[in-house]
Structures are given as structure tokens and as C-alpha cells.
Amino acid sequence: MAHTFEIYKDNAGEFRVRFKYNSEVMFSTQGYSSKASAQNAIDSIKKNGPGAEVEDNS
């Protein structure tokens, strides 16, 4: 699969989520104190992302 979410622990000990496409990091989230919160972020992105509007500030 080309698209993946990755939960990892940063140097500060917080859990973060990376979204990758073909191994390239497209974005990373803020730090979360628990792995469950990081998983909730993934669930929220999956649920709300498809209908999100694009805001062009260029």
C-alpha cells in the first residue's frame, strides 16, 4: 500500500503520527501524551479528511 499512517515516539517521549506516500512523509502531527490519542488523530483524519475544503492562501 502506498499510503500509510505511522505512529512513532519522538525525542521528547511524545507520540506523533506521520502520513507517508511511497515512503515520503507528507505531514506529521503535533505530539500526544498517549498512543491512544495519536490513534484518535488518525481516526479523525480518516473520518473528516475526505470532506475537508481546500483553503488557498496564495
Q: Which residues of the chain have pLDDT under 70?
A: 1
pLDDT of residue 3: 94
Domains of the chain: 3-46 (3.30.160.160)
The pTM score is: 0.84
User: Cα(12)–Cα(54) distance, rounded to whole angstroms?
Assistant: 32
b/e sequence 37-50, b meaning 16+ C-beta within 10 Å? ebeebeeebeeeee
Count the Cβ atoms, other than its own, within 10 Å of residue 3. Answer: 9
Please return the burial class of 17, using the count of CB atoms within 10 Å of its CB with bins 0-12, 13-18 and 19+: buried
pLDDT of residue 31: 98
Terminal Cα distance for the chain, rounded: 32
pLDDT of residue 23: 87
